[in-house]
Structure 1
């Protein structure tokens, strides 16, 4: 069973290790994602996010550039095993050559200095998917989960949770998503608030994604999608990626609850019954999760496959979840 994963934070994890003086490698490492683990898990394509904390540095875009450099250094060092995807046809080309595919994404699209010229430059650098916000307001829009500024110096920042159906995309944000569609960059609404989601739905025409978001009705966290949002995503032909973070899978009595396969299956069952199988994909959030994982890394993905088959999903349904649904969106949007 092939695997396409729409979100991981491995590049940030590797850069953090390098900043501590450690030698880093994409081929083999202590992260949840490396080439050896992806091969064992039968991966076809991994999205690699460049996550930038907009309030960490005076000029946060410098961090984005360091992450970009790390990403391309890792690809260059492993070019016999993995290659970037700039257009949809690259995926089949890389597979034919026996290589994994890598798609570059941004997590927090605010790293553009509120300037569409910078958005176009990120496209030229290879970015093909952008999450419009993270847990801060930015020049594009607003999130449902907000980092509490009173906890900014904490190692585990407190999150303010709300359902924001009022503050939609800014005027700049409206132009931003329209330019993304024109360029062929996939719009990612994970982290975006409800009002922003509906602005994306109302002011775009192509499929978009929630790269690492679950169903709010199963796990009532504002970061997840409501039933109406899932149905709208289905209507547009988009896809949502199952997030493996335990706190987004099911309710827990304490922080950092275990990420359980059983909870993943329950999420998928609910979404299938609500909106059908074609809206479901994978967005693990590997290397960005602070909880105990039953699926510890990319090599364990067959465990989820078997759990879904045991729960009564057909092989064709599991294939759609694992890679076919996401590839359908990529084929339509990537130029």
Structure 2
């Protein structure tokens, strides 16, 4: 069974390797996502995020993002016989029907635009078709849920129901909806998420977010958010980060993420919003922990586990690709 993964940080890892003089390739690198592993796992389409850390990207986060994009294009051109860059539903459908893997370019951190609509339009022309409004820092568009650093270096997160989208943030979501760039509410704070609902009409996604009712981490979605996202026709991608799937937050975040934990979030999200709101957003190469089924090559083990857990074939297909395809068909 083929799958669509809405989020990985592989390009950022490759860029960092190349910056240090390395020669890692998307073809067969040692990361959780490479072309060999994607093919083994049955990938139909992989979203590749240009993850930009505002605190370490230098004076121009936009320029840093463009350097990441250069890595993406270089890697894809070198392997175009196996994977094709897609910018539209028609291109996705063509590759899907011929069995060729697709690569969709996304941005993780709307702050790369520095509040400039021109930068957003440039990213669209480059082929970016999905963008998170924030990462873990406040930017010109809005706020994440609060990241609090404690004495001793410990970090915890708090929900923020006070700061909604800025005026610029509202203008951005309206522009993204108009141009056909999918809005991604992953990492956005609670108040900002509700503002996205208020200021948009079309489906959007939480590319790598789970259920807060099961794992009370502010990066996860509340049941109310899941219901509204389902009503809108959007999708939330199951994240394999241990911190977002374990029952009780704690530990060092490096323990294994078990299939049983991921299944629990899929079951809960189905109960709250229906099977149509669930997709996959692994966060491979951006998470510190191992996953029980390994890496992208082991995705069929998750499908088999869903079948053993009582999910029907049509439901598994919906989670693995159908629901995300529906959103892409409507927006792209």
Query: Matched residues in 1 for 2:35 and 2:164: separation?
Result: 39
Q: Between Structure 1 and Structure 2, how many residues are aligned?
A: 329
Contact 1:83–1:100 at 8 Å: present in 2 too?
A: yes
- Give secondary structure in 2 for the equivalent of 1:278: helix
Alignment pair present for 1:238 and 2:234? yes
Q: CA deviation at 1:180?
A: 0.1
Task: Measure, in 2, the Cα distance between the counterparts of 1:23 and 1:174.
Answer: 41
TM-score normalized by structure 2?
Answer: 0.96
What's the CA shift for 1:19?
A: 1.7
Whole-Å Cα distance in 2 between the matches of residues 204 and 137 of structure 1?
A: 21
TM-score (normalised: structure 1): 0.95
Q: Which runs of 4+ in 1 moved over 3 A?
A: 147-151, 157-160
**Aligned with 1:111: secondary structure?**
helix
In structure 1, stretches of 5+ residues that fail to align are 152-156
User: Who is 1:179 aligned against?
Assistant: 175
Provide closer, same or farther for how the CA distance between residues 27 and 101 of structure 1 changes in structure 2, counting only shifts above 3 A. same
Matching of residues 47-126 of structure 1 within 5 Å = 47-56=47-56, 57-126=58-127
Any stretches of 5+ residues in structure 2 without a counterpart?
Answer: none
Shift, 1:16, TM fit = 1.2
1:125-183 CA distances to partner (integer Å, 9 max, x unpaired)? 100000110000000000014264989xxxxx753411111100000000000000010
- Match in the other structure for 1:209: 205
Residues in 2 aligned to 1:280 and 1:246: alpha-carbon distance in whole angstroms = 18
| Residue 254, structure 1, aligned to residue 251, structure 2 | yes
Question: Counterpart of 1:21?
Answer: 21
Selected match of 2:293 from 292, 295, 298: 295
2:28 maps to 1:2: no
- Residue 22 of structure 1 deviates from its aligned partner by 1.2
| Contact kept in structure 2, 1:81 and 1:98, CA below 8 Å | no
Question: CA-atom RMSD, angstroms?
Answer: 1.4
Q: Which residue of 313, 316, 333 corresponds with 2:311?
A: 313
Following TM superposition, by how much is the alpha carbon of 1:95 offset from its aligned partner in structure 2, in angstroms?
2.8
SS in structure 2 at match of 1:46: strand
Partner Cα separation in structure 2 for residue 158 and residue 122 of structure 1: 35
Matches within 5 A, 1:278-289: 278-289=276-287
